[in-house]
Structure 1
Amino acid sequence: MLLVYTHKISPRLKYVFKHICTRVLGIKVGFTTKIEEFIAHDNMKMSYTKQQLGNEFFVKSHDILFEQGLSEIEINIQNWDETKCFFFNGDKSAIPFDIFSAAFYLLSRYEEYLPHVKDEYGRFIAIESLAYKEGFLEQPVVDIWAYKFKEALQKQFSKFKFPTKKYSIKPIIDVPSAYNYKLKSIIRTLGGSIRDLTRFKFKNLYIRFVVILGFQHDPFDTFKYIINKQKQTKFKFLFFFLVGDYSTYDKGINPNKKKFASLIKRVADYSRVGVKISFFGIDKISILKKEKSRMEDILNTTLKASRQSFSKLNLPEAYRNLVELEIQEDYTMGYVDHVGFRAGSCTPFLFYDLGYEVQTPLMINSYHTMDYALLKNRSLLDKKKVLNEIINQVKQVNGEFIPVFHNYTFNDLGNWKGFKELFNIILESVDEA
């Protein structure tokens, strides 16, 4: 166990040390404010405070972990070997930056509580982030810092054996609508047909009716292919089905349709299934509660995971609602149009509520690329290059790579040509690890 001496054991301090030490590096960590207890500890130990006690392993602390609420924080980004960091702490420290304070700033999403420009859907966008502005969005900096910390510890405590961790993947299959034409109401089918006619999309109109009549496969129905892929890997895929009501933003299948419910159950036989929260369910707990209940009735089990429509997050309210409804995991944290690490880490972390100053039980699984972000690269070769680069970043720190693909991504039509191949690269990346 690593024992940390500090002048004050705050909730923030415990939260971030447990993420870096336990979740990333796999070692237990304890805390003390008593010098006698610190001196008596005969295992790995360090001090984290303003002044070094003697010649012990020492990291000079920044104030952020001992504060409450939000404050104006001056951030000066500096280079640190192959990466970047902030909160420089001078020459006396065992490492040149207070990585714990820097990691807390990123993991708590401190900057998302501050005034910022939102997009048309009310989302925090990548170009507003510190990571994007300073050029480290495509690095899991929190994990990189953790391994630098480990390296420094090993020099001083050479007899301590650190556990090893392996690279892993957790593919997300987002299902806003299971079918493009099937299981739609007569009104929706007529509306879609009229829209095709007025826009002279006669091919779409033809496909619509041959699919409805059963002569052709629905282009969104790729579930057989995905399940076959699931059978080829030990890593469970996680499907998120939309079961919310039809609205301006969400145009899924009516959850009361028996064939739709049967599809969800069939997928759940092979993979994990969570709920895709509708756009209006993100902010209204009454709608969220209804959608959670619907999915639990279909699955006949307690719902554990969620993902929010359009990857929209309103912090802290959206996560507080999930905590209140006892949802254990969320997969919304990420950027739709940029590859990278929104919270700076490729290790799942608990949501820290800055408003209440408390660590919650909600595990945040930040995703690192979405199929739409890869669309920005025109050629398949460029898409492969970007994907391999982000995978290699995760591999270097033995993290967990979380990509988001949609069910229609696998139809190999139009813009989605070649995406089956990209998905295979992700699945095969584990064998190469």
Structure 2
Amino acid sequence: MFLLIFCKQLTPRVKYIFNFIFKDILLYEEDLSFTSNEIEFLQYDGPKFSYAEQPLKQELHFGSCKLLFETKIQPQHIDQIIFGDTQVPFPVKNGFLPFDVFAASFYFVSRYEEYLPFEPDKHLRFKAENSLLFQLDLLYIPVIDVWALMLKNILLKYFPLLKFGSRAFKFVPTFDIDRAYHFRNSGILKNTARIIKALLEKDKERLKNVLLTGLKKRKDPFDTYEMLRKIHNKHNLNPIFFFLYAHKRDKRYDVNIKPGKENFNALIKETAQYADIGIHPSYASNQHKHLLTEEIKNLSMLIEKPIHKSRQHFLRLHLPKTYLQLKEVDILHDYSMGYASQPGFRAGTCTSFYWYDLQLEKQSVLKVYPFAVMDSTLKVYLKLNPEKAKETISKIMGNVKLVNGTFCCLWHNESLSETETWKGWSEVYRFMVEMAVK
């Protein structure tokens, strides 16, 4: 028996967000059907509810605002209301809930606010602190997933025969390889400069690392790949590695080894034997599609597999330009949906979703995978020590486990090196893994 929803106008926005909530999050097993015919709705004796400004009679009713029925991208005047112990946007009257849960979910997951004028940071990124989720103190919560479960409980109270599937918590470890090695492959001149600098600054640890790595008496500090492999194999985890593989580089931000170096290529090939490989596009490729095309082609040729996964270098996600460009080069899965300066859920959900193109008003084929926490966010931006970082990870992962969602993390090989400023952080990663698998 299908679930019938009364809606005066079935727009692409309505269809998109209802399918995301009911099919992708709640795994509703029957069909969703919409009608704008009041008589048809009132005569239907199966499970149903209305989504409109006013109820038709005494049916289960969820109040709507205008957002899902608009076809333009325009500034929204968003009022807020207290609901439970949180503030929520898009308040409505005469509904079972005091806010439009569907409009609020769409606003967050579509990243509507990022299409409007905003003040960017130095990398031209949308700032976490400017987001509505941050301002509502909801960034650490996969709030759309929470609201979806709330809807499920309401519907089951009225229609106990409705059938929903069940999800299980998932952990997805991902890595950006910005610098495959610290001293290895740097060349004599660069490492000599490092030695001189270490001597001048009396930095015994760095001096020792440069010398011993150069003499092949010690592995490069950033060579943490075997340790990661053992951790992942122990817990049957399937990591994803995003490699920066660019011939033409911005020297300020693209500090990886140039493609062609034998040991760098060997590392990528070896990693591809047990993990998924994605492209980590160079800094400039966000503005120059031909660079992205070249980088994907070269990486694909190296591992002899097509490349369909990506994550933007420095998380330089500019909507809609970045996603339109990724679609043009056949990237089907993107893992850039998160902030550099704050952990949490940029799109309000821990569930992967198909990007909704607000300019064309339709769902695209590009699937977006939100990540919840990044190592440098905790250490560099928030300036947390390892113990405080564990507390933050515990809080966010706990919120994901409550909704049986997916916890995706972004880590770097260097943050497990136990050198210089990263001392104690390999334990943070191990802690996160142990918490995820127990």
**TM-score class normalised by the smaller sequence:** over 0.9
Deviation at 1:348, TM superposition (A): 0.9
Q: Which residue of 1 aligns with 2:326?
A: 322
- Which SS does the other structure have where 1:280 is aligned? helix
Which of 333, 345, 362 does residue 337 from structure 2 map onto? Answer: 333
- Which SS does the other structure have where 2:104 is aligned? helix
Correspondence 1:84-163 to 2 at 5 A: 84-90=87-93, 92-163=94-165
Larger CA deviation: 192-201 vs 138-147: 192-201
Deviation at 1:147, TM superposition (A): 1.2
- Which SS does the other structure have where 1:281 is aligned? helix
Q: Which residue of 2 aligns with 1:273?
A: 277
Which of 383, 401, 405 does residue 407 from structure 2 map onto? Answer: 401
Q: Which residue of 1 aligns with 2:427?
A: 421
Q: Which residue of 2 aligns with 1:350?
A: 354
Matches of 1:10 and 1:238 in 2, distance apart?
36
Gaps (5+ residues) in structure 1? none
Correspondence 1:38-77 to 2 at 5 A: 38=41, 43-77=46-80
Gaps (5+ residues) in structure 2? none
- Which SS does the other structure have where 1:231 is aligned? helix
Which of 154, 174, 178 does residue 176 from structure 2 map onto? Answer: 174
Deviation at 1:286, TM superposition (A): 0.7
Matches of 1:36 and 1:187 in 2, distance apart?
81
What TM-score, normalized to structure 1? 0.93
Larger CA deviation: 370-379 vs 172-181: 370-379
Count the aligned residue pairs: 431
- Which SS does the other structure have where 2:182 is aligned? coil
1:283 touches 1:317 (CA, 8 Å); kept in 2? no
1:363-393 deviation digits (Å, cap 9, x = unpaired): 1111111112222354433222111111111
Q: Which residue of 2 aligns with 1:386?
A: 392
1:254 aligns with 2:255: no
Larger CA deviation: 24-33 vs 256-265: 24-33
1:4 touches 1:48 (CA, 8 Å); kept in 2? yes
2:141 touches 2:399 (CA, 8 Å); kept in 1? yes
Which of 288, 295, 299 does residue 292 from structure 2 map onto? Answer: 288
Matches of 1:392 and 1:7 in 2, distance apart?
39
Identity of aligned residues (%): 33
Displaced runs of 4 or more, over 6 A: none
Matches of 1:236 and 1:77 in 2, distance apart?
41
RMSD, aligned CA: 2.1
Q: Which residue of 2 aligns with 1:236?
A: 238
- Which SS does the other structure have where 1:361 is aligned? strand
Q: 1:144 to 1:323 in 2, by over 3 A?
A: same
Q: Which residue of 1 aligns with 2:219?
A: 217
Deviation at 1:99, TM superposition (A): 0.8
Deviation at 1:66, TM superposition (A): 1.3
Q: 1:41 to 1:169 in 2, by over 3 A?
A: farther
Matches of 1:272 and 1:40 in 2, distance apart?
52
Q: Which residue of 2 aligns with 1:32?
A: 35
Q: 1:377 to 1:185 in 2, by over 3 A?
A: closer
